[in-house]
Structure 1
Amino acid sequence: MSRTIMLIPIGSGVGVTSVSLGMVRAMERHGVVVNFFKPIAQPKSGDTGPERSTTIIRNATNILPPEPFTMQYAENLISSNQTSDLLEEVVARFKTGTSEADVVVVEGLVPTIKHPFANELNYQIAKAIGAEMVFVTHPSNDSSQQLKERIEIAVSAFGGHKNTRIIGCIINKVGAPLDDQDRTRPDLTEMFEMPSSKTNTNLEVLQMFGKSPLRILGCIPWNPSLVAPRARDLAEHLDAIIINKGDMDTRRLQSVTFCARSIPNMVEHFKPGSMLVTSGDRSDVIVSACLASMNGVKIGCLLLTGNYRPEPQVMRLCERAMETTGLPIMMISTNTWQTSVRLQSFNMEIPTDDAERIELVQDYVAGHVDKHWIETLTQGSTLPRKLSPPAFRYHLTELARAVNRRIVLPEGDEPRTVKAASLCVQRGIATPILLGNPDKIQLVAEQQGVKLTEGVVIIDPVTVREKYVAPMVELRKGKGLTEVVAREQLQDNVVLGTMMLAQDEVDGLVSGAVHTTANTIRPPLQLIKTAPGANLVSSIFFMLLPDQVLVYGDCAINPDPNAEQLADIAIQSADSAAAFGIEPKVAMISYSTGSSGSGSDVEKVREATKIAQERRPDLIIDGPLQYDAAIMENVAKSKAPDSPVAGKATVFIFPDLNTGNTTYKAVQRSAELISIGPMLQGMRKPVNDLSRGALVDDIVYTIALTAIQASQQQ
C-alpha cells in the first residue's frame, strides 16, 4: 500500500525544496519507487521559468512528477469560493500522476505575506490526498524551548496532537549564519560575516531531540558549500560582460572580497572559490589574480567594476593565465558600492540546470534524514525494487564505512586524488594513504581549497623505498631480479604502493588518474598475482543507468578471450555483481541470438555459455544473446521468448575487448551516464584502475569498491 508524505514548511526560508530533494534521494537509496508532487507552483520574485522543485526533480532523477497548478489559477478559485473544486482537481492530478509509486513526496506551500492562505490550503490538500504530514522548519535564533513552542503552535493549526497524520518534523539549516533580521544570510560578502558566537547559538537545537513535541525525522546542519553558486550565475545576475569565460560554468563562489587595499594586504584573500571585486583600472589586482591562478590557486572569478576594461598591455601580460588556468573575468558598469548592493539581492536558490549542486544537496540532505524511518515507509509493499544509481552509491559507501580499509593512492599529489582522499575521510569510506612529497601534497590541497585532516595519511616515498628492496627481490627471485633493478623500479610509486599491498601494510590500491592501465596493473600482476582458483584477471564496469545499475565485463583487460576464459569472466562478473547487491542475470552477448546465427565468434560465445552453466549451475546464464534481446523485454519476447535472462539481464559479458570497450563508451557518452570502474577481478588482493578522465567522485567510489573487495577477500 503506497504512502504519501507531505512536507509542510513552518514559515519562509526553511529550505523546503532542498528537503524535498533530500527526501526523494533518501527513498531512492533504499530502492523505494518514489514520485514527487508540488500541487501548486509558488514562484519567487524573478522566477520566469517552470516551477522550480518539479523541474529540478525531473532534471536530476528518473522521476516524472505531475505538473503543478499555477498560483494564479489556485488564487482565482479560492477567491471565487471554489476551493473544493481546486481540491478535487489536485486529487485527480495526484492520483493519475503518481499511481505507480511506493511513496509520494508532496511539497506544500510556504506561508508568506502574498500567500496568507498557505497553511490552511496545505492542511486541506493533506486531508484530500490522505497524506501524512511532516513539518519543515529551521532554528532561526530561537532557543530549543522557543523552537519547541513554535512547532507546537504549528501542530495546533493542523488538528493538534490528536491528529495521527502528523508524524514528525525535519529541522533544516542548523547553525546557519543569520543577519540582523534573523534571516539566513542571503549573500556571500565578507562585510556580512557574523561573529562566531552568533553563528553557533542555534546549535542548541540539538537539545530538541529530548523534548520535541514531535519525532525529529531529520536534523540538517548548515553547509555553506550547498549554497555556493557558479560564476556564471553571478554573471547572469549582474548582467556582466564576459572578458574571459574560462571555467565560468563550473567554478564555485564561496566568498566575495572587495579589493580596496594594497596587494600585500589583499593576498590572504586570493584563495580558492573567492570572487575578487575590484575596479577595472586596478591593474595590480588583475595581474596578481592571474599570477595566483598560474600558481594553482583556483580563484572563483575576477569581477571588474566601473565599466573599466583592462588596458591592452595588461591583457597581453595576462593572456597565458587566461588561456590556461580557467580564471573567469567579467566586467560590469556599476561602482563597487552599487555592486555590493546588487550582490545582496542575488537569489541563492538552486538553479534548475545546476546538476552538480542539485546532486550535492540531495546526497547531503538524504544523509541527515532518519534512515530507519525511511525503511518503515515501504514495509509490506509488493512493488518490485531495482538497485537505482543513488541506491547503489549509498550501498557502496555504507559497505565501505562498515569495513574501514586502508587504500594506497600512488598518485598522491594529483589534484583530483587529493580531493578524493579528503572526501573519503569526511564520509568515513576508507583511510586513504597518499604517496608523495608531503609539502607538494599540502600545496596542492591548499590550491584546491581542500583541508587535509589527520585521517589522510601522507607517506614520503623517499623515506620508505629502501625497506621494500629486499622483499621485492624475494618475490621476484625466480625472474632474476637484482637489488639494483628493484631499487630503480621502486622509484615508480605504483610499484611502491604494490609492494605495500604485497606486505599487507595496506588493503588495496587505486591508480590510473595519470597512469595508463598497463602502468597500473603490470606491477600487481608481477608482485600480487591472481587469487587462488582464478585463471585470469578481468574487469567490470558498473553502468549507472537512470533507473538501475548494470554490470559490463570485460571492457578493459582481455583482448580476445577464448571460450574457457570467457566463461571465467562471466562467473567472476556474476559473483562481483552479487557481492555489490545486484542480482546476477548473465547475458553472453553476441551478434546473434540463440541458434539464429553461425560463425566462429558466435560458436565461442555459445561454448562459453555452456561451460559457465556447467561450472556454476546456481547462476542464471544464457547466450548467445544480442544486446537488444538481453535488455529490452519487447524484443526478448520475439527473439528469445524462453530465455530466463532475455529482457531482464543485469550482467552483460562481451565476446572481446573491442566489443566491450566500444559498447561501454558508446552507452556512457550517448546516454550521459556515470560508470564506475574498471574494477579488476581475479587478483589475490584488490587493485583498481581509473580512467585518466576520472572525476573526483569516480575516484571516491573506486576507493569504496576497493575497500569492499578487500573486506570480501579477507
Structure 2
Amino acid sequence: MSSSRSRLALVVNSGSSSIKFGVFEMRTNASTLQVEASLACGGLVGRIGSEAEVKFSVGESTFQSSGEDIPDHAAGLARILGVIEDKVGSLEAVEVVGHRIVHGGPDFKRATVIDGGVEAAIEETAPLAPLHNPAGLLGVRVAKAKLPHAPHVAVFDTAFHVKSMSPEAYRYAVPRQLYELGVRRYGFHGTSYAYIARALPDVKNMIIFHLGNGASCCAVSRGECVETSMGLTPLEGLMMGTRCGDLDCGVVSYACRELGKTPAEVDSMLNKQSGLLGVSGVSSDMRAVREAAEAGNADAKLAREMYAERVRKYLGAYMVKLGGHVDAIVFTAGVGENDAGLREMVCRGLEPMGISLDPVKNRGRRREGDIRDVSTPFSRTKVLVAPTNEESMIAVEATEVAGVMADAIAAAKAARVARTMLPSLPRSPTRPPSLPPPPPKRRHVIGSLGRAVYVDGVGPTAAEELGLLSQVTATAPRIGYFRPFCDADDRKLLTMRTVFQLTSSSIDAMRGMSASEATAMLAAGREDECMDVVISKFVDYARDKDFVLVSRGHLGAIGDPHWTAKVAGALGLPVVYVLHEPRDDDKEIVLRAKDALDQRRVRLAGVVATTRDEEAARNTLENMGVFPAALLPPDERFSQITMAEIAATLEARVAFGHADLASSTMRGVIVATRHVAECIDTLRKLPPGQLVVTHAARADLVHSLVLAHQTIDYFPPIAGLLLSGTDGAATEHHLDASPDDAAQLAKTLDLLSCVPSTVRVPPILCVSESTYEAANAVHEMTPVMLPSSTAKIEAAQLLFETYLDPDFRDALADLRHDAAIVTPRMFQHHLFAKARAAPQRIVLPEGEDRRVVMAAGQLISRKVCDVTILGNPETVKALASEARVDVDGARIVDTHGEPPPPELVKALVDARKHKGMTYDVAAGLLRDDANYYGTMLLHLGLADGMVSGACHSTASTMRPALQIIKMAPGFSIVSSVFFMLLADGVKVFGDCAINVSPSAVELAQIAAASALTARAFGIDPRIAMLSYATGDSNKGDLIDKVRDATRLARDLAPDDLFEGPIQFDAAVDPAVAAVKYNGEQNPVAGVANVCIFPTLDAGNSAYKAVQQASKCIAIGPVMQGLKKPVNDLSRGCTVSDIVNTVAVTCLQSLQAKKK
C-alpha cells in the first residue's frame, strides 16, 4: 500500500448525549484496488449538556478528562475537531465525513452522499429508530456546518440487509396496512457484516454471528445478505445483553393487562431489563455472567445455555436457508471473538452436520486483527473467529461513495497494468506432461466486456463455457449462467448450475423458453414477441449478478452466425466464438461469423480455438482483425466418454460400480452375442476400455467377464457392461426376458453383491431397450460434460487458467455496468418494463382515428398504461371491432355528446381569464377541441400525460399545453428530441420538430433538456453540439452560435459532457474523431449519443435521412420543457409509433413526479 499524502476520513456516530468519532487514514491496496482504512485517532465526547467527559486515543497514547463545559453537539464536534487538528493534522486533510445512521428504511440500500433530500428521508424514518435517527441527523447537520468543504455520507446499519433480502425473508405475516407503515424486517449491524464479507471475499456461503451486548446473525451468500435475525427493531432474534430476542408478541398485551403497565413500560422491560440481565439477575455483560456461572450460579448458567441455544437454532435455520452449502461459520464482536467457552457450547455435537471445532485452537491466543480458523481439518464447514471494525467500514464506504480516492485507485490500476507488461513468471497451476507450455503473451488493447458475454461456436462448447466462467469467479462473486432457448432438463444448464452452485435461482429463471415454444412462435411470425420474452427473463435474471455467461440456444444450425448475431444483438452482448477442433475451413467460419455480427453491430470480443499450431492460428486471427482470446492445445479428455456419461445419457439403472462411473472411460464398443470363449478371445485382442453390450439374459457372459476382469495381465480391463432388455424402472432385477433368464440374472447380481470389496467388479448398467437399440444409442453418443465429469472439468479450468490471454482476462474482470451499448431492443424492453411497473393515466384525444384505437388496444393488452380515449363511444368501439382489438379496459369520454364537467370549464376560465376567457367560450373549446379537453384533464391531475397529433398539426396539439400546462422551472422554451434506435446503439437527436432557428441561449437550453431526457431513459449523455465545422477549423455566425451555446450549456449542466462545435461524423465515428482531434482524447468526440442540431432544418432533415437510410425505429418527437408531458405525433405515424410515444410519455410522467 502506498499514499502520497495523508488523506483522512472522519467517522461520526452521534447519540442523544454523546458523539463517538474516529479519524482514519485512507489508502489504496495496490493488489486488490480497494480502499483501506487505518485508525489515526478515535474517541468520544460524552454527557453533552452536563459535565461532559472527553476520551480519545492516538496510537498508544490516551487522553481522558471530565467536567468540561460542552453545552451542545456543536461544541462537542468543535472539541473533536480541535483534537484532530492538534493530534493528527489540518482539517483540510479530512476529505470525507461518514455518519453512522442506524435506520435507512426500505429505500436506502447503500451508503449515500447527504443532501437535503437525504436529510429529509432520515427524518422521515425517525419513527423506526426514535432514539437513534434524530440524534444521527443532529450530528449530520452540526458536522456539515463545521466541515462544509468535505462531502458527508450516510452509512446505514440497515442497508446491507435491505439491498438484497427477498420479500419472503423481510415480510411479516401481518395485514398490508401494517406493512405500508413500514412494518417489515430491516436488520442491523450491517456495517459489521459488510466488513466481514469484505475480509472474507473467497468464502461463498457463510453464517456470521455478531455477538456483543447487542447480538444478531446473518446468512450471507456471495457477499450479500440472504436473511438476518433482527427485524423492525433490534429487539428480534438472538438473546442479548438486555434485550429478550425472539418472543411471543402476545407477551406485550399480557404484561400490560396483568402488571398494569403501559406499552412503553413493557417495551422498556423487553429492551433494557431482559436478555442476560433478566435471566441471570447478575449483569448484561457476558463476562460477569460467565464468572457467576462458573461460581455455581444456576440462573447465570441457564442464561448462557439459553444464549447458546438461540444461536444454535438460528445456525440450523440458516444452514437450510443456504441450501446446506455453508463454507464457514464466523463468530465476531465482543462475545463472539473472546468467549471460547460459548463457541464450544454452540458447536457441541454438530459433527454430523460437518461442523467440528478444535478445542485447542479454539482456546488458543489470538493476535490482534487476525482471522483464526478454529475448526479441525475434518470440518467441512470452517469455524472462524474474525474481528470486526464497523467504524473502519463506515470510513471505507463513505470514501468509496464520495469518490475521493478515485484518483488513487486509477493510479494503482495503471501501475498494475504497467507491471503486467513486463516479463512475468509462468502461472502456477501444475500442467500435465502432455500439455505444451503456454506461448509468450502479446499485449493487446481490449475494452471491458461488461457484465455478460454470449458464447457460440462450431461443435460442443461446454468445456469452453466452463473454462471461461471459472476465470471470472475471482472478480465476480455473483456469477450466473443463462440459456435463451432450452428445456428445463437441459444437460448443459444443469451441469453448470451444479458445478458453480448456481442454486439461488430456479432453473426456469436461468432460461428464456423451451426450444419448442420458440420454434412455434417463430413459425407463427412472432419473432419480436419471442425475443421480448428472452430479453425480459435475461434482464430479470442478470439484475443481481456480477457476471452472466449466456450460452447459445438450441435453435437454427449449431454455430449459425446470423442467429448468433440476432440473439446477442437483442441482448446487447459481445460474442465469444468457439472453434472446438482444428478444421481446414476455420478461417472461412470466422469470417462468416465476423460479417454476420458486424451487420448487426454486435461485437466479436474474441475467438477461443483449439489448434495444434498456436503461432499460425494467432497470426491468422489477428490478420482478420479478430482477437485470439484463448488458443488451446488439443486435449483428448474432452473427446472421451465415461460410464457416468453413458448412464446419464441412456437414463440407465446402475446395478454395480457407482464409485467407478466417473473414472471409467469407454474407448470402444463391442456387442457380445456369441459364446463366452469367443467374446473373451475377441476382447483380449482389443485395447482396454471396451464397453460390452449384451442381453440381460446372458448371465453366463456377465459372470465370466467379471472373473476375467480380475486378471489384468491376461485380460485388458473393460470400461463396463451394458445389459439390454431389462426393465429400467424395476428395482429387483425384473427383466423382459423369460422367467428362467430373469431368475438366473437375479442370482448372478445377488452373487456379485456379496463379493468382497477387493474384487474388482466393473460398472454394470441396465436399460430396457434391445441390444441393437442400446448399442446404436452408445455409437451415436457425443462426448458430454456432466457434474460427475471431474477430469473434464479440471482440464477445462486448467486450460483456461494457463492459456487465456491476459488482456482478455482483464477485460472479463472489468465489470463495468455501462460497458455495453444501449441496444434498440433493450431500450424498448426497459421502456415498456418501466411503464408497466407504475402504470400512468394517458389521454388520447384522437379517439376516432383508427390508428389511435388500434394503439389503445395494444397498450391495454400489454398493460402499459391506463388509457382515456376522447371520442364518440360507438365510433371508437366500431373501429376497435373492425381492427379486432379490445378497448373495454379504456375510459371513453364523449366530448361532443356530453357537456364538459363544470370543474373543467371553471379551471380553463381561471387559467385563461387574463386573456378574457368566459365560461361559455371555455365550454365551447372543451366541447369542440379534444386537445383542450385532454390538456385540462392533465392540468387537473385527472391524467398523467397526453399524446396527440395523428390527425392534428403540431400547433393544435401544443397550443393548449403551452397556454395551460406551461413551462417547467428553469426552461423558457419547449423543444423536442427523437430517440433513434440504431443498430449500434440508441442516439438522441434534437431539436427536430419545434424550434426553427434557436438562439445560442435557446440552443443551450435544448441541449441541457435533451441531456436530462436521455438520462431519464437510461442513457448516460455525451452531448455533441453539431455544426458544419469541428473546433476552430472554420468561422461563421452559425459556428459562433454553436460555440456560445456549448459554453452556456456547460454552465446550465456542469456535470454533463458537451463538445462543440463538432461535425456529425466526428461526433459518432471514433476513427474520424481521432483524425479531427489529432489523436487527442475527448470524452464526447466519436462516442456522442446526444446530437443537438443548430436549426430545425438541419435536425428534421437529419433524423428523416438517418431513419430512411438505416431503416431504424425513430421514437418521437418527444417534447421537453413542459411541467407535465404532452407529446406530438407525426400525422404519418404508425400504430407502433403511437404505442412507443405513449410508453415514452409514461416515463416522462414518472420523471416529472420525482421533481
TM-score with structure 2 setting the length: 0.34
1:370-428 Cα offsets, whole Å, 9 max, x none, are: xxxxxxxx997569211100010011111111221100000012111111112112222
**Does 1:680 pair with 2:1116?**
no
Superposition RMSD on alpha carbons, in Å?
4.4
Rate the CA distance shift 1:662–1:460 in 2: closer, same or farther, 3 A.
same
Corresponding position of 1:663? 1102
Rate the CA distance shift 1:505–1:638 in 2: closer, same or farther, 3 A.
same
**Does 1:479 pair with 2:918?**
no
Query: Please, which of 417, 433, 436 is the counterpart of residue 868 of structure 2?
Result: 433
Identity of aligned residues (%): 38
Mapped to 2, the partners of 1:129 and 1:91 lie a distance apart of: 25
Mapped to 2, the partners of 1:158 and 1:555 lie a distance apart of: 63
Query: Please, which of 442, 457, 478 is the counterpart of residue 891 of structure 2?
Result: 457
Mapped to 2, the partners of 1:56 and 1:129 lie a distance apart of: 33
Query: Please, which of 814, 818, 823 is the counterpart of residue 388 of structure 1?
Result: 823
Mapped to 2, the partners of 1:14 and 1:568 lie a distance apart of: 49
Corresponding position of 2:1017? 580
Runs of 5+ in structure 2 lacking a partner? Answer: 1-452, 457-482, 491-513, 540-547, 598-602, 608-634, 639-645, 663-811
Query: Please, which of 529, 535, 547 is the counterpart of residue 984 of structure 2?
Result: 547
Query: Please, which of 1065, 1076, 1080 is the counterpart of residue 628 of structure 1?
Result: 1065
Rate the CA distance shift 1:633–1:68 in 2: closer, same or farther, 3 A.
closer
Query: Please, which of 436, 439, 447 is the counterpart of residue 882 of structure 2?
Result: 447
Q: Structure 2 matches for 1:273-352, cutoff 5 A?
A: none
Q: Structure 2 matches for 1:516-527, cutoff 5 A?
A: 516-527=953-964
Whether the aligned pair in 2 keeps the contact of 1:508 and 1:707 (CA below 8 Å) is yes
Corresponding position of 1:692? 1131
1:250-299 Cα offsets, whole Å, 9 max, x none, are: xxxxxxxxxxxxxxxxxxxxxxxxxxxxxxxxxxxxxxxxxxxxxxxxxx
Kindly state the Cα deviation for residue 63 of structure 1 after the two structures are TM-superposed: 9.8
Rate the CA distance shift 1:56–1:552 in 2: closer, same or farther, 3 A.
closer
Corresponding position of 1:528? 965
Kindly state the Cα deviation for residue 97 of structure 1 after the two structures are TM-superposed: 3.7
Secondary structure in 2 matching 1:530? coil
Mapped to 2, the partners of 1:624 and 1:578 lie a distance apart of: 22
Q: Structure 2 matches for 1:85-96, cutoff 5 A?
A: 93=589
AA partner of residue 470 (structure 1): K
Whether the aligned pair in 1 keeps the contact of 2:577 and 2:606 (CA below 8 Å) is no
**Does 1:509 pair with 2:943?**
no
Runs of 5+ in structure 1 lacking a partner? Answer: 43-49, 70-83, 105-126, 131-152, 165-377
Mapped to 1, the partners of 2:1010 and 2:956 lie a distance apart of: 23
**Does 1:707 pair with 2:1146?**
yes
Secondary structure in 2 matching 1:624? strand
Corresponding position of 1:561? 998
Kindly state the Cα deviation for residue 444 of structure 1 after the two structures are TM-superposed: 0.4
AA partner of residue 917 (structure 2): L
Whether the aligned pair in 2 keeps the contact of 1:406 and 1:433 (CA below 8 Å) is yes
Secondary structure in 2 matching 1:476? helix
Rate the CA distance shift 1:569–1:536 in 2: closer, same or farther, 3 A.
same
Whether the aligned pair in 2 keeps the contact of 1:2 and 1:381 (CA below 8 Å) is no
1:71-130 Cα offsets, whole Å, 9 max, x none, are: xxxxxxxxxxxxx979997999489948956899xxxxxxxxxxxxxxxxxxxxxx9999
Rate the CA distance shift 1:39–1:639 in 2: closer, same or farther, 3 A.
same
Kindly state the Cα deviation for residue 523 of structure 1 after the two structures are TM-superposed: 1.0
Corresponding position of 2:274? none
Q: Structure 2 matches for 1:134-173, cutoff 5 A?
A: 156-157=649-650
1:45-80 Cα offsets, whole Å, 9 max, x none, are: xxxxx99967987999999999999xxxxxxxxxxx
Whether the aligned pair in 2 keeps the contact of 1:2 and 1:102 (CA below 8 Å) is no
Kindly state the Cα deviation for residue 674 of structure 1 after the two structures are TM-superposed: 0.6
Whether the aligned pair in 1 keeps the contact of 2:556 and 2:563 (CA below 8 Å) is no
Q: Structure 2 matches for 1:92-131, cutoff 5 A?
A: 93=589, 97=593
Mapped to 1, the partners of 2:908 and 2:839 lie a distance apart of: 27
Rate the CA distance shift 1:553–1:129 in 2: closer, same or farther, 3 A.
farther
AA partner of residue 418 (structure 1): V
Whether the aligned pair in 1 keeps the contact of 2:572 and 2:823 (CA below 8 Å) is no
Whether the aligned pair in 2 keeps the contact of 1:676 and 1:698 (CA below 8 Å) is yes
Whether the aligned pair in 2 keeps the contact of 1:556 and 1:678 (CA below 8 Å) is yes
TM-score with structure 1 setting the length: 0.54
Query: Please, which of 615, 625, 647 is the counterpart of residue 1086 of structure 2?
Result: 647
Kindly state the Cα deviation for residue 35 of structure 1 after the two structures are TM-superposed: 9.2
- Asked which structure has the greater CA Rg, the reply is 2
Query: Please, which of 424, 440, 463 is the counterpart of residue 859 of structure 2?
Result: 424
Mapped to 1, the partners of 2:1127 and 2:564 lie a distance apart of: 39
Which protein has greater RCO, CA pairs closer than 8 Å, 6+ apart?
A: 1
Whether the aligned pair in 1 keeps the contact of 2:1004 and 2:1049 (CA below 8 Å) is yes
AA partner of residue 391 (structure 1): M
Q: Structure 2 matches for 1:50-61, cutoff 5 A?
A: none
Whether the aligned pair in 2 keeps the contact of 1:62 and 1:547 (CA below 8 Å) is no
Mapped to 2, the partners of 1:460 and 1:7 lie a distance apart of: 47
Query: Please, which of 601, 610, 617 is the counterpart of residue 1047 of structure 2?
Result: 610
Corresponding position of 1:180? none
Kindly state the Cα deviation for residue 693 of structure 1 after the two structures are TM-superposed: 1.6
Kindly state the Cα deviation for residue 614 of structure 1 after the two structures are TM-superposed: 2.1
AA partner of residue 518 (structure 1): A
Mapped to 2, the partners of 1:498 and 1:6 lie a distance apart of: 44
Rate the CA distance shift 1:667–1:429 in 2: closer, same or farther, 3 A.
same
Q: Structure 2 matches for 1:226-265, cutoff 5 A?
A: none
Kindly state the Cα deviation for residue 547 of structure 1 after the two structures are TM-superposed: 2.4
Mapped to 1, the partners of 2:552 and 2:1094 lie a distance apart of: 42
Corresponding position of 2:924? 488
1:685-707 Cα offsets, whole Å, 9 max, x none, are: 11001111212121111111111
Secondary structure in 1 matching 2:898? helix
Mapped to 2, the partners of 1:678 and 1:505 lie a distance apart of: 24
AA partner of residue 652 (structure 1): C
Kindly state the Cα deviation for residue 36 of structure 1 after the two structures are TM-superposed: 6.0
Rate the CA distance shift 1:8–1:708 in 2: closer, same or farther, 3 A.
closer
Mapped to 2, the partners of 1:652 and 1:7 lie a distance apart of: 38
Mapped to 1, the partners of 2:964 and 2:577 lie a distance apart of: 59
Secondary structure in 2 matching 1:652? strand
Corresponding position of 1:271? none
1:512-538 Cα offsets, whole Å, 9 max, x none, are: 111111111011111111112211111
Mapped to 1, the partners of 2:648 and 2:584 lie a distance apart of: 25
AA partner of residue 483 (structure 1): Y
Secondary structure in 2 matching 1:465? coil
Corresponding position of 2:847? 412
Query: Please, which of 591, 615, 619 is the counterpart of residue 1056 of structure 2?
Result: 619
Rate the CA distance shift 1:652–1:95 in 2: closer, same or farther, 3 A.
closer
AA partner of residue 1121 (structure 2): G
Secondary structure in 1 matching 2:1060? strand
Q: Structure 2 matches for 1:171-250, cutoff 5 A?
A: none
AA partner of residue 473 (structure 1): V
Secondary structure in 2 matching 1:564? helix
Corresponding position of 1:74? none
Secondary structure in 1 matching 2:900? helix
Mapped to 1, the partners of 2:990 and 2:636 lie a distance apart of: 50
